[in-house]
Structure 1
Amino acid sequence: MKKHATRLRYMTSVISVVAMIASITVIAMNGLNWGLDFTGGVVSEVQIDKNVTPDQMHPVLNKAYHQKVEVISASEPGRWVLRYSDVPANAKDHPDLKQVLTPISKEVDVLNTSIVGPQVGAELANQGGLALLISVLCILGYLSFRFEWRLASGALFALAHDVVFVLAFFAFSQMEFNLTVLAAILAILGYSLNDSIIIADRIRELLVAKPKGNITQLNNDAVGATFSRTMVTSGTTLMTIVALWIMGGDALRGFSIAMFIGVLTGTWSSISVGTSLPEYLGLKPEHYKPKIISDHP
C-alpha cells in the first residue's frame, strides 16, 4: 500500500510536468482571445420585450455586426447589456442597434451606449498584470519566510502549474479572456496556496517529530493525514462553482470555468508536485532540525 501511494505520487507528478509543457506550448502557439475589457469595444444597454430571449437576439445581432455579440442580463426583466467590438461610424453598413432589434420586438429602447477605447483596455491589462505580479511577489515572500526553500518550491511550482493549466484551456478553446477570468486566476492563486500550505505544514511537523524518518514515507503520511480534508474542501467548493456555472449565465461562465479547472488542478498539484518536488530536491528531516546555540560569544 505504501509503495502504491509513492508510485502514484510520482506518476501524477510526471503527468503534471508533461501536461504543463504541453500547456505552455498551446499558450505560445494560440495566444489568448482577449475580451473587450482589454481590447476596447462598445457596451450598450437596451430595454426590450420581456418575452424575448438571448437565443432570439444572438442570431440577429451576430449577423448585423459580423461578430459574436455578448448578451448579458441586467437588473430587471427585459433589460439587457450588449457587448461587442466597435464598428467604425463611417462604415457603409454601420448598423443601428434599434433597427437591428426591431424585427424581433417592436418594444426596443436603447438606454445608453458607451465606448471602451483601446487605451482604456490597455490600462486595464496593465493594472491586471500588475495585480497578478504583486500577488505572486507577496506569495513568494510568505513562502520564503514560512518554509525551507525546498518545501516552498513545491508550493510555488503548484501555483504556477494551476495558473498555466487555466491559461492553456482558454488559449486552446479561444474563449474570451476578460477581467472576470483574471479575477478567477487571482482567486485560484489563493485557493491553491491554501491547499499547498496545509500539506506543507503537515510535512514540516512530521520532519520535526520524526528526525530519523524516511522523507518519502513522511510525505505519504502527510498526504494521507490531509487527504480527507482536501477532498471535502475541494468537493464543496466545486459544488458551489457548478451552481454558479449553471445559474450565473454568460456573464459568469468564464469565471466559473476558470475556477472549476483551477480547483481541480489545485487539488491535484498540491498532492503530487507539491510533495514530490521537495523530495526530488533533497528535502530531509535535518533541514528542520533545531540548531544548538552556543553559550560562548
Structure 2
Amino acid sequence: MKLSSISKLSKARYLSSVLSLIIMLSSIGIIFSHGFNWGLDFTGGVVTEVKVDANIQAAQISQLLAAHSEQEVSVISAGEPGRWVLRYSQVDAESSTNIARVFAPLTENVEVLNSSIVGPQIGQELAEQGGLALLVAMLCILVYLSFRFEWRLASGALLALFHDVVFVLAVFSLTQMEFNLTILAAVLAILGYSLNDSIVIADRIREVLIAKPKMAIDEICSSAVKATFSRTMVTSGTTLITVAALWFMGGGPLQGFSIAMFLGILIGTVSSISVGTCLPELLKVKAEHYEVKPINDTP
C-alpha cells in the first residue's frame, strides 16, 4: 500500500473522528433538552379495534380522527380488509368513546370489536424493562469484547456502539417521532449490526499488529480499514437497500423501525471506521499487547 494513500486515509479517519465526537456530544444534549415522544407502549392509553367498510383506507381514517383529536391517533391494519386497530392516549379516550359518531362522515357501518386500556403502571414497567434490556445488552457486549480483544481495541468498538445508539435516539428526540417498543427493537438490532463491523476491523488490526509489529499504528489502522472497506460497503449497501424497501413499502407500522435501522446502519458504518480505529490508536495499542507469553513450567 502506498504511503500517500495511507496518509490520506489517516487524515480522513481523524476528521471523521472529530465529527463523530461533535455528533455524539450534540446528540446527548438534544436527548436531555428535548426528551422523547413516548408511545402508548410506555405511557399507557387506549387500543380499540373496529370494523368498517373494506374500501376505506388508513389515510382516510387518520385524516378523520385527526379532525376529532388534538393528539395523533395511530391507525394500524388488523390483517383483514376493513378491520383497523386505533391507538390513542387516555386524554383522547373521552372524545373517541362514540366511535360511530366520529366515523359518521365516513361511513355508517362501524362495529367496535374490542377495546382495552394500557394503564400507566404497565407503561412504566415497559420503559424500565426497555432501559434494562439496553443496559444488559451493552454489558454483555463489553464482556465479549474484553474477552476477545485487548481492552484498547475493545474500548474503540464499545464507544462506537454508544455513539450509534445515542445518534439514533437523538434523531427521534429532535423530530419527536413516536418512540415505542418497535423503535427499541431497532436500537437493539443496531447494536448487533454495528458490533459486527467494529469486530471485523478490530480483528484485522490485531492480525496486522501480530504480523508486522514494527509498523506504525496509524498505518496499521489505515491498512485495516482499507482491507475491510469493500466488504463493509457491500454489506452495508445491501442491508440499506433492504431497509429502504421496508421503509417505503412496509407502511406506517414499520416506518419508525425502518428509519431507525437506516440511520443506525449509516452511522454505524462511519463510526466503525472512525471511532473504532482512532480510539485504540489514541490509547497507543501496540503489538506487544498481543504477544503470546510463554508459561514458566519450573516449579
TM class by shorter chain equals over 0.9
Match of 1:146 in 2: 148
Q: Find the aligned partners of 2:96 and 2:265 in 1 and give their Cα distance.
A: 44
* 8 Å Cα contact 1:45-1:111 kept in structure 2: yes
Where structure 2 has 5 or more consecutive residues not aligned to the other structure, the ranges are none
Show CA shifts across 1:68-88 (max 9, x none).
111111211111111100137
Residue number among 255, 271, 279 corresponding to 2:257 in the alignment: 255
State the Cα distance separating 1:132 from its structure 2 match.
1.2
Match of 1:281 in 2: 283
Q: Which amino acid aligns with 2:213?
A: P
My pick for the range that moved more, 72-81 or 260-269, is 72-81
Q: Structure 1 240/88 Cα, relative in aligned 2: closer, same or farther at 3 Å?
A: closer
State the Cα distance separating 1:94 from its structure 2 match.
5.8
Match of 2:51 in 1: 47
Aligned to 1:136, the other structure's residue is in SS state helix
State the Cα distance separating 1:63 from its structure 2 match.
2.4
Where structure 1 has 5 or more consecutive residues not aligned to the other structure, the ranges are none
Q: Find the aligned partners of 2:278 and 2:24 in 1 and give their Cα distance.
A: 15
Q: How does 1:112-191 map onto structure 2 within 5 Å?
A: 112-191=114-193
* 8 Å Cα contact 2:6-2:223 kept in structure 1: no
Match of 1:10 in 2: 14
Aligned to 2:105, the other structure's residue is in SS state helix
Q: Tell me the TM-score normalized by structure 2.
A: 0.95
Q: Find the aligned partners of 1:152 and 1:216 in 2 and give their Cα distance.
A: 17
Q: Find the aligned partners of 1:211 and 1:137 in 2 and give their Cα distance.
A: 31
State the Cα distance separating 1:277 from its structure 2 match.
0.5
Q: Which amino acid aligns with 1:211?
A: P
Q: Find the aligned partners of 1:233 and 1:17 in 2 and give their Cα distance.
A: 25
Match of 2:296 in 1: 294
My pick for the range that moved more, 257-266 or 99-108, is 99-108
Show CA shifts across 1:1-44 (max 9, x none).
22110000000000000111111111110001110000000111
Q: Tell me the TM-score normalized by structure 1.
A: 0.96
RMSD: 1.3
Show CA shifts across 1:176-217 (max 9, x none).
000000000000000111110011011111111111111111
* 8 Å Cα contact 2:71-2:92 kept in structure 1: no
Q: Find the aligned partners of 2:63 and 2:96 in 1 and give their Cα distance.
A: 17
Match of 2:237 in 1: 235
State the Cα distance separating 1:296 from its structure 2 match.
2.9
Residue number among 215, 220, 223 corresponding to 1:221 in the alignment: 223
Q: Find the aligned partners of 1:48 and 1:221 in 2 and give their Cα distance.
A: 61
Q: Find the aligned partners of 1:72 and 1:58 in 2 and give their Cα distance.
A: 10
Match of 2:41 in 1: 37
* 8 Å Cα contact 2:99-2:110 kept in structure 1: no
Show CA shifts across 1:238-260 (max 9, x none).
11101111111111111110000
